[in-house]
Amino acid sequence: QVQLVETGGGLVQAGDSLKLSCAVSGRTVGSAPMGWFRQAPGKEREFVAWIGWKGEMTYYTDSVKGRFHISEDSAENTVYLQMNNLKTEDTAVYYCAASDRFSIAAGDYNFWGQGTQVTVSS
The 10s digit of each residue's pLDDT in 10-33 is 999 999 999 999 999 998 998 889
Q: What is the pLDDT of residues 39-48, one digit of tens each?
A: 998 999 999 9
Q: What is the mean predicted confidence (pLDDT) over 74-92?
A: 97
pLDDT band at 55 (very low <50, low <70, confident <90, very high): confident
Of 35, 43, 55, 10, the C-alpha closest to 104 is 35
Distance of CA 44 to the CA centre of its chain: 15
High-pLDDT (> 90) share of the chain, %: 87
Cβ neighbours, 10 Å, residue 24: 25
